[in-house]
Chains A and B, each alone.
Chain A
Amino acid sequence: QVQLVQSGDELKKPGASVKVSCKASGYSFNNYGINWVRQAPGQGLEWMGWISTYNGNRNSAQKFQDRVTMTTDTFTNTAYMELGSLRSDDTAVYYCARDGGWSGYYYYYFMDVWGKGTTVTVSS
């Protein structure tokens, strides 16, 4: 079945980096982009960034642009999100989510398949 399997929970110290993986299965990885979305405890969803698995094009929310790196490995059908210079307010559940991809000449700008989330805790 179509699914995104994320890496395990992480505990990091302030100033460190974290790299979360998101392995896709059950569909053609190259046909759908990957979004990264986070949710701080008790807070709402926050869009972090998007990467095309087809050509590597990417963009991220302004607040993360100098700290986030998104990559993909088309051999293992895995997307990665690395967030650097971690602070305590980066403590959150980090989700990867597949976008709707192409259907003919139409691109679907929604997120229909989500990973279960990776909890990243930043604490000294």
Chain B
Amino acid sequence: QSALTQPRSVSGSPGQSVTISCTGTINDVAYYNYVSWYQQHPGKAPKLMIFDVSMRPSGVPDRFSASKSANTASLTISGLQAEDEADYYCCSYAGRDTWVFGGGTKLTVL
């Protein structure tokens, strides 16, 4: 059960778009369409932003979108805003009632 691989950091200017990748294996990201993404601000609990690869919960802006190809999932944030600055984590169901998180990506809005 190795952690999914994410870039440690990404950055972008307000209004720009950034994409965060999340690479797993045939046993998790590639096999299951159960990738979710979480946003975490310092000192706060994570917040669900995307589920089932590309679905947005109600209340999440449509600036947040996501997709998956083979064993790599991606989160794209368009029209960057200052409040998007946070840590982002991908997570995949890995079968037999187990989950695995990515290492996290720090998004800096320049």
Contacts and interface: CB of A to CB of B under 8 A. Distances in A.
Interface in B70-105: 87, 89, 91, 93, 96-104
Contact of A59 (B46, B87, B97, B101): B97
Contacts of A59: 96-98
B43 to A, nearest CB: 9
A44 B36 contact: no
Interface residues of B, number: 27
Interface in A80-124: 95, 97, 100, 108-112, 114-117
B45 A44 contact: no
Nearest to A111: B48
Contacts of B36: 109-111
B46 A44 contact: no
Interface in B52-67: 52, 57
Interface string A35-63: 10100000011110010100001110111
Which of B52, B99, B101, B104 counts the most A-chain CB atoms under 10 A from its CB?
A: B99
Contacts of A37: 46, 101
